[in-house]
Amino acid sequence: MQTITVGVTDLAHFDQRVELDGVVYILTLHWNERMNLWMLDVGLPGADASVCGVTCVANRFLFRRYHYRDGVPPGELMALDPTLMLDGPGFDWSGFDLCYFTAGEVASGVIA
């Protein structure tokens, strides 16, 4: 498992480069004021995003529905939050961690 710290600043939209399963991806996070949550786009550098508008919710696999698309990492990404506050109104949005389970971990059954 790889932990990706998302350092939220006062920007409502920012990009973060990460290497997942040996490939560099661009994670674009943008704040949705109406819904009061972060949304995620993911893609390869220099290309349009492969997936747009994924809601960053706690303890759910964020890529599960998108693996059929080119440019989506082969593993699973999760906003791991044992407190279940990520989805709640009292969450401190100063930063949060995303956990990436590699394709090998997914294939070996580490996660279901």
Statement: residue 98 has pLDDT above 70: yes
Statement: residue 110 has pLDDT above 80: no
pLDDT of 41 reads 93
Q: Which band of pLDDT confidence, cut at 50, 70 and 90, is reported for residue 17? A: very high
Statement: residue 112 has pLDDT above 60: no
Which residue would you say has higher pLDDT here, 106 or 110?
106
51 part of a folded domain? yes
pLDDT of 59 reads 81
112 part of a folded domain? no
Number of folded domains that form the chain: 1
Entry pTM? 0.81
25 part of a folded domain? yes
Alpha-carbon distances, residue 20 vs 29, 81, 86 (angstroms): 17, 20, 23
90 part of a folded domain? yes
Q: Which band of pLDDT confidence, cut at 50, 70 and 90, is reported for residue 86? A: low
Q: Using CA atoms, how far apart are residues 6 and 14, in angstroms rounded to an integer?
A: 10
60 part of a folded domain? yes
Q: Where are the extended beta strands (E) located within the chain?
A: 2-6, 13-20, 23-32, 37-43, 51-55, 76-78, 96-101
77 part of a folded domain? yes
Statement: residue 77 has pLDDT above 80: yes
Domain that includes residue 90, residue range:
2-107
